Structure 1
Amino acid sequence: MSFFNPGHRPTLHSVIGRGHLIVALVGVAMASVSLTLLGVLALRVYADHNLHLIARSINYTVEAAVVFNDKAAATEALALIASTEEVADAQVLNVKGQILARWQRPETGLLTELEMQMAKAFLEKPISMPIVHQGQEIGSILLIGHGGSLMRFLLSGLVGIVLCTAISAWVALYLARRQLRGITGPLRSLASVAHAARSERAFDQRVPAAAIAELDNLGNDFNALLDELESWQTHLQHENETLAHQASHDSLTGLPNRALFEGRLLRALRNANKLNERVAVLFLDSDRFKEINDSFGHAAGDAVLVAVANRVRAQLREEDLVARLGGDEFAVLLTPLQKTEDAERIAEKIIASMEVPISLPDENQVLTSLSIGVAVYPDHGLTPGALLNAADGAMYQAKRLARGAQHTAGSEYLVDNVQIRS
C-alpha cells in the first residue's frame, strides 16, 4: 500500500515548464534528424554523381595508355585525378580484367577507417565504367568513393543539432517562464489571499486583476466571496460586541451591571493591596423611587433611573466606575482613593446633583433624593462582598436615620460609621 506525499507534488510552474521544454526538444530533435537524413540522401546522390564524373574523366585520360598497355602512363594519369577527388580506391583494368593501374588513398589511422566505413554504409557500391575505343571495349574503370565529405557533413550536422537543441531549450524556457508569469502570478496571489483569509481571517485582502480572462474571472468571483465573508464577519463581530455589552451592562441606563462592577472591584482591591492604596465603595439608593413609580407609572420610573445614572456619572472622575446593581440601587467605585474626605466630597456632589427636578415623559417634573452608604478598603472590608455589604448596611442605616428625622428631601450617608447629614 502506497501513500502519496503532498509535499512532493510538482508545482504548476515546473509541470508547464517541463512540458514546454520537452515539446521544444522533441521538435528540434525531429527537425534536426529529418534535415540531417535529407542532407545525407542529397549528399549521397551528389557523391554518386561526382564519382561518375570522376570515372568519365579518368576514362578519357587513361584511354590511350590502356590502348598501348602503358602501365606507367595509366598509373600517373590515374593518380593525378584520383588524388584530388573524393576517391578511396581507383583501378584501371584491361580487357582481360587485369589491373593495369591502381591508386589508393593513404591510410592515416582511425579517421580514415571511419571514413571508409561511412562510405560503405551510405554510398553506393563501387562504380564500374567500361573504357571504349573506336566502338570496342578495351578495359574498365573501378572506383570506390571516399566518405570524408559525408563524415564532415554528419559531424557538422551533429554540432548543429546540439546547438539548435541548446538554443531551443533556452528559448523554450524563456517563453515558458514569460507565459507562466501570466498564469502562476495570479494563482499565487489568489493562494496568498486565500491562505491569509483562512489562517488570519484577513477578509479585507483582495486578489489583483489578471491579464488572462479565465483567471481574472476566478479572481473576481473569489473577491466577491471575500466581500460576503467580510460582511458576515463584521456583522458577527457587531453581534458579539452587542451581546458582550448586553451581558455586562444594564439595558436601561447603559451602566455596567453587578457582574462587571464586582469584577472591576476585585481587580481594584488586588491592585490596592500590592500598592498599599485605599479604595472606596458608595452604595446608592433612591428614597422616593417606589412612590414615583406608583404615582406616575413605569415610564416615569425609568426616566428617573436614567436621570440618576447620568447625574451620578457626571460627578465622577474618569477612572471611577458607577454601576446599576438592580432596581433603584447603584454602586460607585472610587479608585485610587487618596483620603476618606475625597469620598465624602464626591458623595456630596452626587447629593447636590439631585436638587434639580427630573423631567418625566408626560412633561411633569419630580424631585428625588439618594441615600448613600460608604465603605473604605481596608477599613471596612478586604473582599468585594465585604465592602458591598458594609456600604449597603451604611446606606440602610442612613435611610432609617433620615426617616426618623423626617428629612424627606434630604440625603444621608455614613463614613467610618459616623453619620453625616446634608
Structure 2
Amino acid sequence: MSLFKSRIRPTLGSVIGRGHLIVALVGVAMASVSLTLLGVLALRVYADHNLHLIARSINYTVEAAVVFNDKVAATEALALIASTEEVADAQVMDEQGELLARWQRPETGLLSDLEMQVARVILEKPISMPIVHQGQEIGSILLVGHGGSLMSFLLSGLVGIVLCTAISAWVALYLARRQLRGITGPLRSLATVAHAARSERAFDRRVPPADIAELDNLGNDFNALLDELESWQTHLQSENETLAHQASHDSLTGLPNRAFFEGRLIRALRNAGKLDERVAVLFLDSDRFKEINDNFGHAAGDAVLVAVATRVRAQLREEDLVARLGGDEFSILLAPLHKAEDAERIADKIIASMEIPIQLPGSIQVLTSLSIGIAVYPDHGVTPGELLDAADAAMYQAKRLSRGAQQTAGAELPVAHVQTRS
C-alpha cells in the first residue's frame, strides 16, 4: 500500500491551485499583519495624545478642588470627565501625594479584563501630570488608559483578515482554474491526439492551436511529427499493398495467381455447400502459344498473354474471377452458377473474343485460339483439387478434339473448342 501511494503523482491542476492558494494566503497574511501593526501603532500614538488631553482637562477641572482640599468636588469633577473618555483609572493626589479623589471604570467581566490586558501590552505607562496653581505644584494626576478602542480595532482587524483571506482564497482558486484551463486544455488535446495515434494509429489527427506560445510550439512540433508518421504510414501501407498484390497476382497480366485462385475457390465451395449452390471452374489453354513464342519471340508471347487476359476478363461478371495459373494456362471461377449452360455460354463468348487478331510489337498481327474445359460443383467434384483436375482433363479432351478437327479439315489454324467434363 505504501509503495502504491508513493507512485501517485499530483495533478497539474492541484499543483497550480495549491501554488495560487499559498501565494494568495501568504500575501493576504503579510498585508493584514502589516496593516494591523501600522494601525495599532497609529492608535497607540492617538491614545497617548488623547490621554494627555484628558489629563489637562482634568487638571483644569479639579484645580480648585485640590486648592481647597475638597474631596467631594474633586471626585465629581474627575468622574464627570473620566467616565466619558477612554480612561480605566484616574487618580488625583494632593501636594503630599495622598489620594484626594479616584475614579475607576466598572468591570463588566471577561471582556473588561481582556481590554485591560490589551491596554497594558500596547499602551504606554500610565500618564502622570502635576497640578500647578500660581506657579506652585499643589498635586498630581495619574491616568491609566482603557483598551476598549484597541480591542474593537483588533477584533475588526481580525474579522477583516478572515474576510480578506476567504475572498483571496476564492479569487486564487478561480484564477487557478482559469489559468489551468488555458494550460490543460491544449495538453488534454495533445494527449487525446497522442492516444489516438498510439492505440488507433490515427496519424491523420492534429493538435489544435493554443493561446500560450510554448504550448502552441509544442503542438506544432507534435503535428510535424504526426506528418512524418502519416507519410511513413502511407508509404508503408503502399509498400504492403504492393507486396501483397505481387504475392497474390501475376506480374505480367495483373491477374490473380494460382494461390489466390485456390483460396477464393475454397471459400466459394464452402459458401456453395452452405447455400446449396453450384460453382463452375473453367480451365483455359492457348492452342498456338508455343508456336507464336518460337516464331516471334518472348515479347510477342507476353503480348498474347496480356491480350488473352484482357479479353477473358471482359467477358466475365464482376463477381467472377480469372487467374493465370502459369505459362499459357488460365482458370476461371464462376460463383454462383445458376445452370451449367451459363458456363458454356461464357466459354463461347471467350472463344468468340479470340477471333479478333492480336497486335504484336512491330506491327504484326496473329490469331490464336483457346481450349476450354469446364467442371461443375458438385457434379464433377467437391474439393478444389477435384474440380481443377476435372476441368484440366476436360480442357485436354477439348484440345484433342480441336486437333482432330484440324487434321480432318486440313486447316492451318486450330479451331477453339469447349468441352464440359462428363
TM-score normalised by the chain length of structure 2:
0.95
Using the alignment, how far apart are the partners of 1:397 and 1:359 within structure 2? 29
SS state of the match for residue 254, structure 1? coil
- The one-letter amino acid of 2:59's match is N
Kept in 1, the 8 Å contact 2:280–2:377? The answer is yes
Query: Once structures 1 and 2 are overlaid, which stretch shifts more, 386-395 or 211-220?
Result: 211-220
User: Is it true that 1:410 corresponds to 2:415 in the alignment?
Assistant: yes
Question: What's 2:304 paired with?
Answer: 304
Counterparts of 2:179 and 2:395, CA distance in 1: 82
**Displacement of 1:134:** 2.1
Matched residues in 1 for 2:229 and 2:4: separation? 33
Please name the residue that 2:124 is paired with: 124
Aligned residues: 417
Contact 2:282 2:372 in 1 (8 A): yes
Distance 1:5 1:414 in 2: 81
Taking the aligned partners of 1:255 and 1:411, their CA distance within structure 2 comes to: 22
Provide the rounded CA distance (Å) in 2 between the counterparts of 1:208 and 1:232.
22
Alignment of structure 1 residues 364-383 onto 2, 5 Å: 364-383=364-383
Give the structure 1 partner of residue 259 of structure 2: 259
Counterparts in 2 of 1:6 and 1:371: CA distance versus 1, 3 Å? farther
The equivalent residue for 1:395 is 395
* In 1, Cα distance between equivalents of 2:368 and 2:2: 84
Q: Which digits, 9 at most, give the CA deviation of each residue in 1:75-116, with x for residues without a partner? A: 000000000000011111112222111111111111111111
Aligned equivalent of 1:420: none
Over the matched positions of the two proteins, sequence identity in percent amounts to 86
Letter in 1 for 2:98: Q
Structure 2 stretches of 5 or more lacking a match? 408-412
Deviations 1:178-204 (A, max 9, x none): 333332222222222112111111111
Structure 2 counterpart of 1:291: 291
Aligned partners of 2:115, 2:6: CA distance in 1, in Å? 55
| Matched AA of 1:409 | P
Partner of 2:218: helix, strand, or coil? helix
1:228 and 2:228 are equivalent in the alignment: yes
Any stretches of 5+ residues in structure 1 without a counterpart? 418-422
The aligned runs of 1:199-218 (5 Å cut-off) are 199-218=199-218
> TM-score scaled by structure 1?
0.95
Partner SS state of residue 405, structure 1 = helix
Partner secondary structure for residue 140 of structure 2: strand
Task: Determine if contact 2:390/2:421 at 8 Å carries over to the other structure.
Answer: no
Q: CA deviation at 1:217?
A: 1.7
Shift of 1:233: 0.6
Pairing 1:55-134 to 2, within 5 Å after superposition: 55-134=55-134
What does residue range 140-159 of structure 1 map to in structure 2 within 5 Å? 140-159=140-159
Matched, 1:36 2:41: no
1:269, 1:209 → 2: CA distance? 56
Matching residue of 1:363: 363
Residue 5 of structure 1 deviates from its aligned partner by: 5.6
Alignment match, 1:281: 281
Contact 2:268–2:279, Cα closer than 8 Å, also in 1: yes
- The C-alpha deviation readout for 1:269-310, integer Å capped at 9, x for no partner, is 111111111111000000010110111111100100011011
- More displaced 10-residue stretch of structure 1: 399-408 or 327-336: 399-408
Looking at structure 2, the residues matched to 416 and 32 of structure 1 have their Cα atoms a distance apart, in angstroms, of: 107
Question: Is residue 92–residue 99 contact of structure 2 (8 Å, CA) maintained in 1?
Answer: yes
- CA-CA distance at 1:38 after TM superposition: 0.9
